Amino acid sequence: MAEKFSKRDLPPVNIGNMDIKLNFGLFVLNVLDVKFGLFHSSIREHSHSHGSYELHYIPGGQGTLVAQGQRYSLIPGTLFMTGPDVAHEQIPVASDPMAEYCIFFQLLPGDSRQIINKHSHHQLLYELLINHPFWIGQDCEDLMTLFNMLAEELSAKRTGFHHAATNILEIIVTRVLRQFLEHDASPKAADIPLKTLDDSRLLTIENSFLYEFHSITLSQLACRLGLGIRQTERIVQKQYNLSFNEKKKQSRMSAAAQLLKTTDRAIHSIAEDTGFASAEQFSHAFKRYFGMTATQYRSRHHAGLHP
Q: What is the pLDDT of residue 115?
A: 47
CATH homologous superfamily for the domain 199-302: Homeodomain-like (1.10.10.60)
Q: Which of 61, 96, 95, 54 is closest to 78 using CA atoms?
A: 61
Between 126-130, 152-156, 276-280, the lowest mean confidence (pLDDT) is in: 126-130
- Asked whether the predicted pLDDT for residue 187 surpasses 50, the reply is no
Least confident piece of the model among 3-17, 21-35, 253-267: 3-17
Boundaries of every domain in the chain: 7-181, 199-302
- For the domain made up of 7-181, the CATH class stated in words is mainly beta
pLDDT score recorded for residue 248: 92
The neighbour count for residue 228, using CB atoms within 10 Å, is 11
Q: Is the pLDDT of residue 194 over 80?
A: no
CA angle 300, 305, 307 (to 5 degrees): 65
Region 60-85 average pLDDT: 91
Query: Hey, do 7-181 and 199-302 end up sharing a CATH topology, with the first three levels equal?
Result: no
pLDDT for res 195? 37
User: In whole numbers, what is the pLDDT of the chain averaged over residues?
Assistant: 84
> What is the rounded distance in angstroms from the CA atom of residue 173 to the CA atom of residue 182?
14
